[in-house]
């Protein structure tokens, strides 16, 4: 077990949640010490990375002191007790500015806490900062890594490169060792993308698994909330704390998280569908080599991997149409007021006008196609336990690079996974060009996060990519 | 989700917004079945005249969005070009979606997104 004498102070926030928990319980470190360290790093490195929207020092110190007092009197709340974290700046925090990463909402102060913020407080976690994000979580599309109220969202591995998005600050803060875990959201790629580009682990749970009450609405049928952390096990711990039915969110469901068998150690008997990507056309050879190596490791762990093709459906078109149509309703006041022109991305007003012109009948048609697609995927998952696919085929682009020219080809499973509301896990798989992190993703049937954790944890037992860190 | 109304002062009321966007769309939707019915009647009459000829199925209706953006929103030539380009992309996207068959009578999903598949054989053993 590490102790403060064995672990350099600056390394503490790179430890796993269980390691930090042991240190807290044995009084090798206090919650207040961890919190001060996180506040210090968020205030310095975090500001340099534009990862921080707002520090919350008063709240953090108050929560940390309470955590220490509770520990002293033996009232241990669980593995998040006393652990500092950051939350994407779209989760409501009572009396604390929550900007949604966008200029029109720069002075927005909510009156209550989002359910996830409250649940983490109940679990003893310490909120140290609201973390930066792409404006409106990319709801009106964004084309560069600087489309945020907080400025260019920089990657700790190379500050001239993008951290990924839209949960940019969440990915950067974990990778940079500013907090041990962070909360993000995903409508389409916003947890997995920063996790992969920053070399961290991201878990996007099943739709409805986590209450969205008090989180900015972007797309009611696609939005999901999940953790970004150093390890798969860390993500599991956070998910355990935030999941569950919430009367404030009618779409949330009560579905038990069953972790039985997660520590099995072997993946024998599991069959994965490998969804190939066109690296020759859209990717980089270094990324392909890293992905091939990840497949070798999974296979050595006992996972049967079989190349497969997803049912032939227009996944991305369905997702684009539904997302844009829902955005029109989610941000109606922004369009009506003309404040859409205050957004950083100069293409937002155009994007908004196109979205406003989508016909209701076409939205309904896309919704029906979505169900056809979901049924096809149900049949697909009867042949396979899970799906494995690369994440982005290239390393992170520059912060000012135009995504439209940088990225070609789509994410092979992103549209499908989000339309199904299926859980996905992003895992680091080494380094691509310019020693930038690259990653891959796993998709499981809805409500089978335990399977993702089982496979992800076994992969991370056999690799050390999740332990790599950028030079401070 | 947050139901709070953001602190922005609408320059255009929601009613006016709805009147400007939704009403024309609704009118177009309402008009479409009538136009289709009239066209169908014409086709039926023409078909009756040529009763001896083998029936030829009518071509599939060209799917197209019923609305269109307000191009006056574009303040510069670049914005106008971007709007036209993006709208064309959206029209093509919608047309593509309408080419994918949806069985008549298949439902509109509402509520749970996807049922949990039956337990997988690998973990049943």
Token look-up 């209450």 returns A211
- The residue of A112, A273, A357, A451 whose CB has the most chain B CBs within 10 angstroms, and thus the best one to mutate to test that interface, is A357
Q: Is B68 on the interface with A (CB under 8 A)?
A: yes
**Span B112-120, mean pLDDT?**
47
The boundaries of the domain holding residue A122 are: 12-314+363-467
Complex prediction ipTM: 0.84
**Which of B68, B74, B100, B119 is the best residue to mutate to test the A interface, defined by the most A CB atoms within 10 Å of its own CB?**
B100
Across the interface, whether the CB atoms of A367 and B109 are under 8 A apart is answered yes
Percent over 70 (pLDDT), chain A? 99
Q: pLDDT by residue (tens digit) across A80-128?
A: 999 999 999 999 999 999 999 999 999 999 999 999 999 999 999 999 9
Q: What is the pLDDT of residue A8?
A: 84
pLDDT at B17: 38
Average pLDDT on A216-245 reads 97
Q: Which residues of B touch A97 (CB under 8 A)?
A: none
For the cut 50, the answer to whether the pLDDT of residue A193 exceeds it is yes
Average pLDDT over residues A453-459: 98
Confidence check: pLDDT of A463 > 50: yes
Which helix (H) or strand (E) covers residue B122, if one does?
helix B121-124
Is pLDDT at B11 greater than 90 in this prediction?
Answer: no
Of B13, B108, B120, the CB nearest to A368: B108
**What are the backbone angles phi and psi of residue A84, rounded to the nearest 5°?**
-75, 150
Secondary structure in 3-state letters for chain A: CCCCCCCCHHHHHHCCHHHHHHHHHCCCCCHHHHHHHHHHHHHHHHHHCCCEEEECHHHHHHHHHHHHHHHHCCCCCCCCCCCEEEEECCECECCECCCCCCHHHCCCCCCCCCHHHHHHHHCCCEEEEEECCCHHHHCCCCCCCCCCCCCCCEECCEEEEECCCCCHHHHHHHHCCCCCEEEEEECCCCCHHHHHHHCCEEEECCCCCECCCCECCCCCCCCEEEEEECCHHHHHHHHHHHECCECCECCCCCCCCCCCCCCCCCCCCCEEEECCCCHHHHCCHHHHHHHHHHHHHHHHCCCEEEECCCCCCCHHHHHHHHHHHHHHHHCHHHHHHCHHHHCCCCCHHHHHHHHHCCCHHHHHHHHHHHHHHHHHHHHHHHHCCEEEEECCCCCCCECCCCHHHHCCCCCCCHHHHHHHCCCEEEEEEEECHHHCEEEEEEECCCCCHHHHHHHHHHHHHHCCHHHCCCCC
Q: What is the rounded CA–CA span in Å between residue A138 and residue A123?
A: 30
Residue of A nearest to B32 (CA): A361
Mean pLDDT throughout B58-68? 57
With CB atoms and an 8 Å threshold, state whether A365 touches B98: yes
A420: nearest CB among B94, B96, B114: B114
Name the more confident of A183 and B113. Answer: A183
Has residue A320 been placed in a domain? no
Is the Cβ pair A337, B8 closer than 8 Å? yes
Contact A321 B97 (CB under 8 A): yes
Confidence label for A249 from pLDDT (cuts 50, 70 and 90): very high
Nearest Cβ partner for A367 among B17, B94, B108: B108
**B109 touches A: beta carbon within 8 Å:** yes
Smallest CA-to-CA distance from A256 within A192, A206, A183, A221 is with: A206
Instruction: Give B98's contacts in chain A (Cβ within 8 Å).
Output: 362, 365
How confident is the model at residue A408, as a pLDDT? 79
CA–CA dist A391, A191 (Å, integer): 12
Residue A2 inside a domain? The answer is no
Instruction: Answer whether residue A350 is part of any domain.
Output: no
Cβ contact B114–A350 (<8 Å)? no
Q: Which among A190, A211, A219, A252 is annotated as catalytic?
A: A190
CA distance A293 to chain B (A): 25
Minimal CA separation from A384 to chain B, in Å: 8
Examine residue A347 and state whether it is found in any structural domain, yes or no.
no
Over residues A204-218, the mean pLDDT reads 97
The count of structural domains within chain A is 1
Cβ A420–B113 below 8 Å, yes or no?
Answer: yes
Residues of A in contact with B103 (CB under 8 A): 372
Question: Quick check: B91 contacting A, CB < 8 Å?
Answer: no
Q: Using an 8 Å CB-CB cutoff, list chain B residues near A117.
A: none
> How would residue B107 be classed by pLDDT, with cut points 50, 70 and 90?
confident
Q: Is A166 a catalytic residue?
A: yes
**Whole-number pLDDT of residue B56:** 53
**pLDDT of B5 over the 80 cut:** no
Residue A353: inside a domain: no
How does the average pLDDT of chain A come out, rounded? 95
Distances (CA, A) of A6 to A12, A174, A262, A357: 10, 21, 30, 61
Give A404's pLDDT tier (boundaries 50, 70, 90): confident
Residue B43's pLDDT band (boundaries 50, 70, 90)? Answer: low
Contact flag A365-B97 (C-beta cutoff 8 Å): yes
B87 in A contact zone (CB under 8 Å): yes
| pLDDT tens by residue, A259-278 | 988 887 789 999 999 999 99
Distance from CA of B98 to the nearest CA of A (A): 8
- Quick check: B1 and A214 CB within 8 A? yes
Determine which one of A16, A88, A219, A252 is catalytic. A88
**Which residues of chain A have a CB within 8 Å of the CB of B25?**
359-360
The pLDDT score that the predictor gives to residue B63 is 52
Is the CB of residue B19 less than 8 Å away from at least one CB of chain A? no
Whole-number pLDDT of residue B125: 40
pLDDT at B35: 45
A104 interaction partners in chain B (CB closer than 8 Å): 6, 8
Strand order in the sheet with A271-274: A52-55, A126-131, A84-88, A181-186, A224-229, A201-204, A424-431, A437-443, A386-390, A271-274, A304-307
Chain-chain contact of A208 with B79 (C-beta, under 8 angstroms): no
All residues of chain B having their beta carbon less than 8 Å from the beta carbon of residue A371 are: 106-109
Domain membership flag for residue A250: yes
Which residue of B16, B96, B120 to mutate against A (max A Cβ within 10 Å)? B120
Query: Among partner residues B8, B79, B115, which is closest to A334 by beta-carbon distance?
Result: B8
A309 is catalytic: no
A348: pLDDT strictly greater than 70: yes
Q: Which of residues 35-64 of B touch A (CB under 8 A)?
A: none
pTM for the model stands at 0.86
| Residue A465: per-residue pLDDT | 98
Q: What mean pLDDT is predicted for residues A148-174?
A: 97
- Asked whether residue A404 is domain-assigned, the answer is yes
Binary contact (B86, A356; C-beta < 8 A): no
- Specify the CATH number for the domain of residue A124: 3.90.1300.10
Residue A341 domain-assigned? no
């Amino acid at each position: 077990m590490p102790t403060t004498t064995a672990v350099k102070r600056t390394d503490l926030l790179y430890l796993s949640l269980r390691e930090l928990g042991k240190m807290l319980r044995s009084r090798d470190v206090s919650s207040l010490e961890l919190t001060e360290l996180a506040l210090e790093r968020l205030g310095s490195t975090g500001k340099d990375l534009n990862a921080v929207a707002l520090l919350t020092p008063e709240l953090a110190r108050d929560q940390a002191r309470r955590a220490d007092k509770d520990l002293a009197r033996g009232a241990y709340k669980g593995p998040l007790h006393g652990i500092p974290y950051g939350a994407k700046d779209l989760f409501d925090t009572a009396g604390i500015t929550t900007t949604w990463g966008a200029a029109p909402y720069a002075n927005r102060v909510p009156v209550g806490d989002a359910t996830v913020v409250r649940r983490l407080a109940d679990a003893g976690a310490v909120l140290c900062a609201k973390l930066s994000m792409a404006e409106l979580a990319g709801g009106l599309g964004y084309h560069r890594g600087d489309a945020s109220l907080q400025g260019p969202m920089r990657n700790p591995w190379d500050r001239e490169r993008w951290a990924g998005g839209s949960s940019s600050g969440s990915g950067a803060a974990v990778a940079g060792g500013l907090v041990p875990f962070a909360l993000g959201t995903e409508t389409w790629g916003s947890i997995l993308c920063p996790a992969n580009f920053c070399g961290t682990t991201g878990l996007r749970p099943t739709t409805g698994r986590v209450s969205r009450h008090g989180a900015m609405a972007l797309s009611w049928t696609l939005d999901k909330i999940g953790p970004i952390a150093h390890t798969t096990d860390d993500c599991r711990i956070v998910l355990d704390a935030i999941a569950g039915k919430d009367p404030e969110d009618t779409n949330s469901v009560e579905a038990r998280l069953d972790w039985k068998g997660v520590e099995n150690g072997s993946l024998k008997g599991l069959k994965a569908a490998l969804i190939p990507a066109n690296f020759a056309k859209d990717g980089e050879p270094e990324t392909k080599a890293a992905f091939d190596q990840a497949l070798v490791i999974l296979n050595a762990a006992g996972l049967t991997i079989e190349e497969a093709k997803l049912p032939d459906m227009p996944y991305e078109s369905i997702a684009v149409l539904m997302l844009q149509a829902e955005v029109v309703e989610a941000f109606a006041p922004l369009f009506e007021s003309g404040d859409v022109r205050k957004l950083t991305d100069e293409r937002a007003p155009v994007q908004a006008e196109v979205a406003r012109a989508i016909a209701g009948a076409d939205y309904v048609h896309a919704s029906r196609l979505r169900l056809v697609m979901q049924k096809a995927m149900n049949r697909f998952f009867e042949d396979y336990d899970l799906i494995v696919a690369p994440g982005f085929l290239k390393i992170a682009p520059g912060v000012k690079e135009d995504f439209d020219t940088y990225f070609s080809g789509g994410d092979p499973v992103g549209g499908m996974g989000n339309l199904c509301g299926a859980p996905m896990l992003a895992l680091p798989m080494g380094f691509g060009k310019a020693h930038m992190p690259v990653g891959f993703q796993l998709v499981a049937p809805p409500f089978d996060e335990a399977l993702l954790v089982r496979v992800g944890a076994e992969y991370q037992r056999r690799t050390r990519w999740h332990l790599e860190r950028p030079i401070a | 989700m947050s139901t709070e109304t953001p602190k922005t002062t609408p320059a255009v009321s929601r009613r006016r917004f709805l009147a400007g966007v939704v009403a024309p769309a609704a009118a177009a939707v309402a008009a479409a079945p009538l136009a289709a019915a009239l066209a169908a009647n014409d086709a039926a009459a023409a078909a009756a005249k040529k009763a001896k000829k083998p029936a030829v199925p009518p071509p599939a209706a060209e799917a197209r969005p019923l609305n269109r953006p307000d191009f006056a929103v574009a303040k510069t030539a670049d914005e106008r070009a971007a709007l036209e380009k993006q709208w064309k992309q959206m029209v093509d996207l919608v047309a593509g979606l309408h080419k994918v068959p949806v069985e008549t009578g298949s439902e509109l999903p509402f509520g749970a997104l996807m049922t949990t598949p039956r337990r997988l054989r690998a973990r049943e053993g």
